[in-house]
Amino acid sequence: TAPLDVHKGLAGVVADTTAISEVVPETLSLTYRGYPVQQLAASRSFEEVAHLIWYGELPDAAQLAAFVNRERAQREVTRSTIGVVDRVPDGCHPMDLLRTAVSSLGAEDPAEDDNRRESNQAKAEALFAKLPTVIAHAHRRRRGLDRIAPDASLGWSANFFHMCFGEVPAPEVLRCFEVSMILYAEHSFNASTFTARVVASTLSDMYSAVTAAIGALKGPLHGGANEAVMKMMLEIGEPERAADWLRNRLAAKEKVMGFGHRVYKDADSRVPTMKAALDDMAALTGGERWVRMYEELESAMLAAKGIHPNLDFPAGPAYYLMGFDIPMFTPLFVMARITGWTAHIIEQLDANALIRPLSAYTGPHERPVPAAAA
């Protein structure tokens, strides 16, 4: 038989169609439902972008008001889910806690296995409303602080900061945060979204698909990179040491987190917008040394390997300057990507085909099982 054509890592494989977002690496373009992300980040709230990702259009005033009301009304999570989360061992990574929380939210939803479109849309909105509450709880728990309940008088981002820090920051900080959420929201068939679609394709439930996606996002080659970037920057310490540090790292054949991308080879379309948000955060907080270190690392990497930074590179230090602990960075990514994941789960189910690729076998040829020992 002819050897099978193996596409390691599914690189270059077109696995299905999607109408949610389009990545055109040649023109450094990323659009959600046709709108460039840079323009969305400059002018729209994350609630509006979430609506766009799920329903295909930006909301009009009445649609936005109705969605905002639904979101604010369902932020609270049950004591049962808080209890499950609180039994996860202290010191675990907050992504473990979040994965457990989503599993618990599914177990307590009577409509968990109802895969009708309306039911899944309602679940997507509920996850969008509830995940910040769980993540803020995780943030305070690791600092040994009591939980702060959601405040329905505040917008989605402002409420999240309130639940984490007990106060709402300056509007400029909220804006940088929303920009990061909008840029992180959706990115076609990335590893975690594809994971969610694989699970959905078996006609399992949305919570199972999201739980699996959280597991996929946790890895440092994917969402975990934003944490790794900040750990690296703290290890480097001073911008003046950055270029030497990077060259030593490359000489040791080690990867530098926050650089490179499977799809973008000539720069990540989201980076300039997030770098501008990082610059704003640095100016607001006096954190310019992280910007200088960013720029040193970026030029040293381009000179050494011609590899560009990806979105996680500016997002890591931006979240640091917003006051989040490093292990919270990937959960922040989840708060945003929940929109893309759930939109893809719904799209998968609209025209489902079980995702089940082939493998090229490389083990021993068929052989008889030896007689069992008497």
Nearer to ligand CMC, 207 or 313 (CB): 313
Given strand 35-36, what is the order of strands in its sheet? 21-24, 29-32, 35-36
Dmax (CA) for the chain in angstroms is 78
Backbone angles phi, psi at 146, to 5 degrees: -70, 155
Nearest distance in Å: CB 179, ligand CMC: 16
Cα separation, 33 vs 42, whole angstroms: 16
Question: Is 113 considered catalytic here?
Answer: no
User: Given CA atoms 122, 123, 125, 126 in this order, what sign does their dihedral have?
Assistant: positive
Nearest distance in Å: CB 192, ligand CMC: 8
271, exposed or middle or buried, with CB in 10 Å at 0-12, 13-18, 19+? Answer: buried
By three-state DSSP, how is residue 309 classified?
A: strand
Nearer to ligand CMC, 206 or 315 (CB): 315
Nearest distance in Å: CB 301, ligand CMC: 7
Using alpha carbons only, give the angle 186, 189, 190 rounded to the nearest 5 degrees. Answer: 75
Q: How many CB atoms lie within 10 A of CB 268?
A: 26
Nearer to ligand CMC, 282 or 311 (CB): 311
Q: Which two tokens stand for residue 213?
A: 């996606």
Nearer to ligand CMC, 306 or 368 (CB): 306
302, exposed or middle or buried, with CB in 10 Å at 0-12, 13-18, 19+? Answer: middle
Catalytic one of 139, 261, 308, 344:
261
Nearer to ligand CMC, 256 or 328 (CB): 256
Nearest distance in Å: CB 309, ligand CMC: 8
Nearest distance in Å: CB 270, ligand CMC: 9
Backbone angles phi, psi at 293, to 5 degrees: -65, -40
b/e sequence 200-223, b meaning 16+ C-beta within 10 Å = bbeebbbbbbbbbbbebbbebebb
Sole residue written with tokens 């083990």: 363
Nearest distance in Å: CB 252, ligand CMC: 11
List contacts with ligand CMC (CB under 6 A): 9, 190, 221-223, 225, 255-262, 305, 307, 310-312
Nearest distance in Å: CB 260, ligand CMC: 2
Question: Is 96 considered catalytic here?
Answer: no
Nearer to ligand CMC, 77 or 216 (CB): 216
C-alpha pair distances (Å), 373 with each of 267, 366, 367, 368, 369: 61, 21, 18, 15, 12
Nearer to ligand CMC, 214 or 257 (CB): 257
Residue-by-residue DSSP string for 22-44: EEEGGGTEEEETTEEHHHHHHH-
Give catalytic residue positions: 261, 312
